[in-house]
Every structure is written in structure tokens, then in C-alpha cells.
Amino acid sequence: MKERHFYTFYSWLFFTAVIPYLGFLLPFLPVSLFGFNLVGWAWIIMLAAGLYFFSIQLSSVRFPILFWLPWALYLIGYIVVQYSFFGLQLTLQYLLPLLIGVVASGFTYNREKYRWLFKMLMRLSLFVLFLFAIGRVFRGGLTPYTAGTPMLLSIPAALCAGIFFLSAHVEFLVLFGAFFLVPILDMTRTGIAVFLMIPVLHLANRNILSKIIVGIAVFFVLAGIVNSQSFQEKSRYESAKKLELSDISENLNYYENKNIRSSGRMTFYDLLKPGLAEKPVFGNGPRADGLVLGKILNMERLGESHNDYLSVMYNYGYAGLSLLLFGFAATFLSMLSVLLRESDRYRILLITSTMTLLIGFLMFMYTDNILKYTVIFPDLFFAMAGMVYARYEQEE
């Protein structure tokens, strides 16, 4: 029975990661249905699946929930005290990846299952890479999920880098390079930074000489990217004038707005600064940032701060941000202790790749709202985190 549950759960996990890309593949699909777009329906479906599998295997959970319980209780307590529909939606989006990690930790894994999961991930990743190629060649450079795709592809990239370091199979380095083309061609700077970080900091590479060689190679790649015309055009201000609200309101698509160059989204920080100063400790409430930005920019929808640290701090205050960062830090240190006791190469690949992706997670948070990209990155990441703590066949 548990074997069937394992394959069913992960099939849903990969399927919901595909759903957001169906609109690019099938343009005739409706933009939204009953108020939710494809991304919205994807995480709702995964939430339902996660709750079902959680209910049938609660007794076998091994995820270190104590690290994340303060953050989860804070979110739940806040939405109970200050309820809103959009606040509830945000709360569920933030809690869903934790639920995925808890469920994933309840299964028992072996090498055969690891290989199956890797194959499923590669099929998903190559499918997304195929759609990216279609966009670049046949749709005038319009590619699906400019911000989200590098996040998703950083997952197989980290695993490919780990396999290369552990086995020296060059084909996985080639695959890493293929995935790296996505943030380079789309010139998503944080995506580039994360992909360059992966080979440098990947804990599967424990050879000092190898790390030095990789570091030198990454330096030259970085120099080439930074000195490229596309990077220079995207990174420098066209003028020294301060960015006005009209510069944003006249072009709400952040990624097509040539007036915006700050990777830290300082413009949005300026807009939210009064609210941050007014309620710095406990924040302004779930999704308050979206309401404020939407109103200031005269948008028909909620605004986005494009910086998870800023968003969490505005909505939940320094208290909320501290609890979130505690969860990440405690998980990283806990994984390190697991890694130091591990000798199985499959497990070492999983643990080191997950730890590397945790660093990437924190980097993506600085320039986007990755916490809400649930089915594209956080769900998959926390599933990997759950696997780190799950039972492995050799333990029995």
C-alpha cells in the first residue's frame, strides 16, 4: 500500500509543477478559472493531495517539524486574528511546502526510488527546457516564467553538479550547462548568481584543489557574463534620476520595465517604508504589502514587492522574518549533522544538493517572491528536505 502511495504522491508533485507551463504550451487555455490562474490551481491541487497523504501516514513522519513549528504557528495565529481571503491564500501558500516536506519524510526510500525520482525530475526539467527553446526560437524570445524557470531548473542543476563531483561523469556537467543557458539567455541575474554558486559551494565537492579550479572557472564565466552587452544593458541605470511611481505604473511588467535596475527592488522598499516603520515588530498582516502596492500603483490586482525578505518583514514583522530564517538555519545545520554521519553516495548526493539549494532559496528570496512559487520550487525543495530525514532501506 505504501509503495502505491509513494508513486502516487510524487506523480502529483511533478504533475502540479507542469500545470503552470500548460498555458504556454496550450495558449487557448483560459487565463483564469473561478478567480485562479494555472499556478493557483496547481498549488490548490497539491494542497489537497498533501493533506490526503498526510492524513494516512502521520505516524511515520520524520521531518524536523520543530524547526518550522514556530513559523507555522505564527502564520496560523496571524490569519486567525486578522483574517482576509488574500491573507488566507498567502498563509496556505507558505504552509504548503512544509506539508510536502512532512509527507515526503514519511516514505521509505531506496536507490531504485531515488533513480525513479531523478528520472521524473529530468523529464520535467527537459520539458521546461524544450518550452524555453520554443519561446526563444519561435515566439520572439518570449519564454515561460522568466523568473520561475531558473528556480525550477536550479534543482536538477544542483543534482547534476553533485553527480559530476561524485562520479566525474562529464555528461552531467553538460546537462548543467544546458540548464544554465536559461538564466543566461533570459539574463535573470539572480538565476545566474545561483547557478554560479552551485558548483562553487556544492558540498559534494570536498577536494580543495577541485574547489580552487572550479572557482577560477566560475570567475571567468562570471567575467564574461558581466562584460556582455545584454548584462550591461540590464544592469546600469539609463540616468541618475530617482525612479518615480510613474515609471512603474506606466509599465507594470517588472521584467519589461527598462527604468528598473535595482536587484534588491529598492523602489518597492521605498514604497513600503512607512508601513515598515509603523509596525516593525509584528508587521501589518498577511498580504498587506500587496494591498498597499496595488493601491499606490493604481493596479487592478495585488502588487508584489519582488523581495521575500521585504514582503515577510512588512506582513509579519521582524518577528515573522526571524522565525522563517530560524527554520532555514536550523534545517541547514541539521542536514550538516546528517551528512557527517552518511556514507552512502546516493544519500550524500541528496543531502549535499539539498543544502546547496537551500542557499539558492535564500538568494532567490532577495529578488523575488519565491515563497509563493510553491509548485515551481518550494514544494520540490521541501520534498528533497523530507527525503533527507526519511527512512532509507539500508537502515532496516
In the chain, how many domains are there? Answer: 1
Residues 85-100, mean pLDDT to the nearest whole number: 96
Residue with the larger pLDDT of the pair 145 and 99: 99
Q: What is the pLDDT of residue 264?
A: 43
pLDDT at residue 104 greater than cutoff 90: yes
Is 222 among the domain residues? yes
Mean predicted confidence (pLDDT) in 151-165: 97
| Residues counted in the chain | 396
Task: Locate 237 and state its grid cell.
Answer: 541605470
pLDDT greater than 70 at residue 251: no
d(C-alpha 378, C-alpha 372), whole Å: 8
Q: What is this structure's pTM?
A: 0.91
Cβ partners under 8 Å of residue 37, min gap 6: 23, 31
Does the pLDDT of residue 166 top 50, yes or no? yes
Q: Is residue 279 part of a domain?
A: no
16-30, 37-51, 146-160: the lowest-pLDDT one: 16-30
Look at 61-75, 245-259, 289-303 and tell me which has the smallest mean pLDDT: 245-259
Structural domain contains residue 258 = no
For the stretch 179-199, pLDDT in tens is: 999 999 998 989 999 999 999
Distance CA(146)–CA(130), nearest Å, equals 14
Q: Give a yes or no: residue 99 inside a domain.
A: yes
- Does residue 247 lie in a domain region? no
Q: Which domain holds residue 377?
A: 2-235+301-395
Write down the mean pLDDT value for the chain: 89
* pLDDT attached to residue 237: 47
What end-to-end distance do the CA atoms of the chain give, in Å? 18
For the chain, what percent of residues have pLDDT higher than 70?
A: 90
Residue-wise pLDDT tens digits, 204-239: 999 999 999 999 999 999 999 988 888 877 765 444
% of the chain residues with pLDDT over 90: 70
CB atoms inside a 10 Å sphere around CB 40: 19
Least confident of 144-158, 250-264, 297-311: 250-264
Residue 239 is predicted with a pLDDT of: 41
Q: Residue 281: inside a domain, yes or no?
A: no
- Residue 187 belongs to a domain: yes
- Residue 394 reports pLDDT greater than 80: no
pLDDT of 240 higher than 60: no
Digit-coded pLDDT (tens) for 348-391? 999 999 999 999 999 999 988 999 999 999 999 999 999 999 99
pLDDT tens, residue by residue, 311-348: 999 999 999 999 999 999 999 999 999 999 999 999 99
Is 288 part of any domain? no
CB atoms closer than 10 angstroms to residue 150: 29
Q: Distance (Å, rounded) from C-alpha 126 to C-alpha 107?
A: 26
Backbone torsions φ then ψ of 36, nearest 5 degrees: -120, 140
Which residues have CB under 8 Å from 199's CB, separation 6+?
Answer: 161, 176, 205, 214, 217, 218
The string of pLDDT tens digits covering residues 124-156 is 999 999 999 999 998 888 888 888 999 999 999
Give mean pLDDT, residues 272-300: 86
**Whether pLDDT at 203 is above 50:** yes
Question: What is the per-residue pLDDT for 236?
Answer: 58
Nearest to 303 by CA among 147, 86, 99: 86
